Amino acid sequence: MIRCHTLFVLLCSLACAQGELKTTKSNPALKARGDTLLKEIISQKWAAGWKNATLDKIRLVAQKPDLAEPTGLPPVWSAIINGPAGKKGHLMWDSSGEGRLVEFSLDDKLEIKGGVFGLPALQQFPMKDEKGQLVASGCVPTAAASVVSYWVAKDYPQWSGEDGTTPKDLALRLRKKMKMSLFPDTDGFSPNRMPLAGTYPSELYKALKQDAQSHGVSMSIGLKRFSFEELQTEIKASRPALLSCVVRVAHQPELSWGHEVAAVGFCQIDDVELVGILDNFYPTKYPETIRWIRKDAFSSIVTLRPALENQK
């Protein structure tokens, strides 16, 4: 339940450099592109069960005009995907230019070849800070806990320690190692408007290094500018990564923010390269649901590579 303030100014400037913040005029004719994009999505082998899916509630969505910290993201076409047996998904595409795919999800347990599986899909959760007030856990430690939990189960059980038996425990432990900032939720990101929490990717990087070392885990941890090629390398090696991005809130697309997520896959649809992520602020029926987002939304990548492949 949180807005992550992850390198907000840097993220917005990067998005601007990539063309995300340009003022463009929406083209009503592009509304029809949604059906074409849906056909391409459900033509994927892993989406075969959604072959009869349809679009519903198609609308042009602009960002909330008085957003406390505007990202400058342009209006997009947005729709709900109606799938089999009452399953749902979402779809967004550009409202200008060629109407390219922006992002989508299919709320389902799907077998996607080449992805990284086994990460707990931990959602942000309320917690009490040192002053006793109820605040959000924050996207950075929450996403990090999902990735660390993956490595605990895969090769490094000692990384859990005595105080990290659950993903939520790991999130709290990692959070203590980061310099977190609180921000009032004046825009309605969370239902109860508790204070939102965020920090920088550099804090994430330092916390992961310190935590791995203190638990005897030989893990090479790196922080770089996002590269789709590097992400592909990580995913092909079954190594989830942590990514910073500027995105709309999937279930409230009029809101957007800087966000930290766990990356578990990649694909190409509509000639658009997409990153598959587990979103820690996206309540879905199936925890395994992957949110696919166009690569230009991302700005940094934190990689975790076992330094000793045989270490157990």
Judge contact between 17 and 225, C-beta under 8 A: no
Count of residues making up the chain: 312
Q: How far is the CA of 114 from the CAs of 10, 167, 228, 235, 309, in angstroms? A: 31, 24, 15, 7, 20
Q: Residues 6 or more apart from 35 whose CB is under 8 A from it?
A: 55
Whether 125 and 101 map to the same domain: the answer is: no
At residue 27 the predicted structure's pLDDT band, cuts being 50, 70 and 90, is confident
- Check whether residue 181 and residue 99 sit in a common domain: no
Q: Which residue segment(s) compose the domain that 122 sits in?
A: 8-12+114-306
Among residues 52, 86, 106, the one where a domain terminates is 106
CB 90 within 8 A of CB 105: yes
167 and 212 within one domain: yes
- Taking only the tens place, the pLDDT of each residue in 213-254 is 999 999 999 999 999 999 999 999 999 999 999 999 999 999
Contact 194, 1 (CB under 8 A): yes
Whether residues 276 and 153 fall in one domain: yes
User: What is the pLDDT of the chain when averaged over all its residues?
Assistant: 91
pLDDT at position 15: 37
Examine residue 311 and state whether it is found in any structural domain, yes or no.
no
Please tell me which of 5-19, 125-139, 249-263 the model is most confident about, judged by mean pLDDT: 249-263
Domain final residue pick, 71, 106, 141: 106
Q: Which residues pair with 242 in a beta bridge?
A: 262, 302
64 lies in the same domain as 118: no
State the total domains in the chain: 2
Instruction: Give the CATH number of the domain where residue 203 resides.
Output: 3.90.70
DSSP 79-147: EEEE-GGG-EEEEEEESSTT--EEEEEE-S----TT-------PPP-EEE-TTS-EEE--HHHHHHHHH
3-state secondary structure 229-240: HHHHHHHHCCCC
Instruction: Say whether both 174 and 301 belong to one domain.
Output: yes
Tokens linked to 282:
């996206």
In a shared domain, residues 248 and 284? yes
Tokens of 145: 């806990």
Contacts of residues 166-169 at CB distance under 8 Å and 24 or more positions apart, as own/partner, are 167/120, 167/122, 168/122, 168/125, 168/137
Does 196 reside within a domain?
yes
Q: Do 71 and 169 fall into the same domain?
A: no
Instruction: Identify whether 3 is part of a domain.
Output: no
In a domain, residue 128? The reply is: yes
CA 282 to chain centre: 9
Claim to verify: residue 31 and residue 144 sit in the same structural domain: no
**CB 245 within 8 Å of CB 225:** no
Q: How confident is the model at residue 24 (pLDDT cuts 50, 70, 90)?
A: low
Label residue 79 by pLDDT band (50, 70, 90): very high
Q: Are 245 and 288 found together in one domain? A: yes
Instruction: List Cβ neighbours of 273 (8 Å cut-off, separation of 6 or more).
Output: 228, 266, 267, 294, 295
The verdict on residue 1 lying in a domain is no
Averaged pLDDT, 42-47: 96
222 forms beta bridges with: 303
178 shares its domain with 63: no
Q: What pLDDT band is residue 10 in, cutting at 50, 70 and 90?
A: very low
Contact 61, 91 (CB under 8 A): no
Phi, psi of 13 (to 5 degrees): -70, -35
- DSSP conformation letters of 217-274: --EEEEEEE--HHHHHHHHHTT--EEEEEEEEETTEEEEEEEEEEEEEEEEEETTEEE
Domain edge (last residue) among 81, 106, 131: 106
Exposed e or buried b per residue across 248-272, where buried means at least 16 C-beta atoms within 10 angstroms of its C-beta: bbbeebbbbbbbbbbbbbbbebbeb
Q: What are 272's strand-pairing partners?
A: 269
Element (H, E) at 165: none
User: Global pTM?
Assistant: 0.91
In this structure, the answer to whether residues 45 and 133 fall within a common structural domain is: no
Residue 147 belongs to some domain of the structure: yes
